[in-house]
Amino acid sequence: MRKFYVVGNLKMNMLSREEAAQYLSVLNREVHDKQYQHVTLVVCPSFLYLSQFDDLPEGIAKGAQNLFSEKSGAYTGEISPVMLKNDGVEYVIVGHSERRRYAGETNEMIRGKALSAIRNHLTPIVCIGETKEERHAEETDSVLMLQVKTLFSGFSKSQAENVIVAYEPRWAIGTDVVPTTGEILGVRVLLRKLFTEIFDARTAQRMTILYGGSVKRSFLPAVSWEAGMDGVLVGRESLFPHELVKMMNLFEEEAEKE
């Protein structure tokens, strides 16, 4: 059965509990009692509001935007995977380019976070992607290869199958510029080839790969199923719950056709 994901990365938005509550009430109203068989929506609010996202409608899961690789101890300001799990979180974004940029996260650190997430029964959504400069220098493939090789080093096949990979070209984030369907498809082919080399064809086939960067409903097909992707990671548009639900509906319709 074909399965799609819509992941809403709310980033550092919604500045009060009231705003979070308002967001939730719109989300609940939009989903109403619709049943989704083929699509899961993962909503990733700020840590502060996670506990408000407890009673989500069916088909919607709670995600976090980051975690720390250790379970507990003297790590001021960090959030443990166990805390997230105990709070009902199921998914966690790791290695977002904004964390690479503003918090100095490296591929090695991100690898540790992804492994820690898996060991603590969370599904990591691991972000990879090239910069504008790297793209212009035609280094996209080599950058992605290095990221994948470092991030997945030492992973078992079953651990790899538990990872969701998000291809988010940095130049497409927040810019309203997106790659062509052909470019995304090219990345998908490259990733499947890499995962086949590192693991095997079966594992590569089972891994979930999403596209992220300036996703909007109007061109959802072009950046997702037409490009061989299993869903999308959405930034700005995820601030509008009705847009997320409309995207879910489009994925559901598409999956039913297949």
Catalytic residues: 96, 168
- The token pair at 122 is 């969370």
In this chain, which of 50, 194, 210, 233 binds ligand 13P, going by CB under 6 A? 233
Residue 236 makes contact with ligand 13P by CB under 6 A: yes
**Closer residue to ligand 13P (CB): 70 or 183:** 183
Q: Which stretch binds ligand 13P (CB under 6 A): 104-112, 210-218, 223-231, 240-248?
A: 210-218
Residue 229 makes contact with ligand 13P by CB under 6 A: no
Q: List the interface residues with ligand 13P, window 91-150 (CB under 6 A).
A: 96
Q: Which stretch binds ligand 13P (CB under 6 A): 19-27, 82-90, 116-124, 212-220?
A: 212-220
- Give the burial class of 100: count Cβ atoms within 10 A of its Cβ; 0-12 exposed, 13-18 middle, 19 or more buried: middle
Residue 235 makes contact with ligand 13P by CB under 6 A: yes
**Closer residue to ligand 13P (CB): 126 or 233:** 233
* Alpha carbon distance 185, 98 (integer Å): 24
* Alpha carbon distance 128, 225 (integer Å): 19
Pairing of strands 231-234, 208-212: parallel
In this chain, which of 9, 66, 181, 208 binds ligand 13P, going by CB under 6 A? 9
Q: List the interface residues with ligand 13P, window 147-176 (CB under 6 A).
A: 168, 173-174
Q: Give me the helices (H) in 106-212, please.
A: 107-119, 132-136, 140-151, 157-161, 181-198, 201-206
Question: E-assigned strands of 47-128?
Answer: 60-64, 91-94, 123-128
User: Residue 138 corresponds to which amino acid?
Assistant: E
**Closer residue to ligand 13P (CB): 174 or 182:** 174
In this chain, which of 220, 227, 234, 247 binds ligand 13P, going by CB under 6 A? 234
Structural contact between residues 241 and 30, judged by C-beta atoms closer than 8 angstroms: yes
* Helix 107-119, helix 140-151: angle, nearest 10: 40
Q: Which stretch binds ligand 13P (CB under 6 A): 103-111, 144-152, 201-209, 229-237?
A: 229-237
Contacts to ligand 13P by CB under 6 A: 9, 96, 168, 173-174, 212-215, 233-236
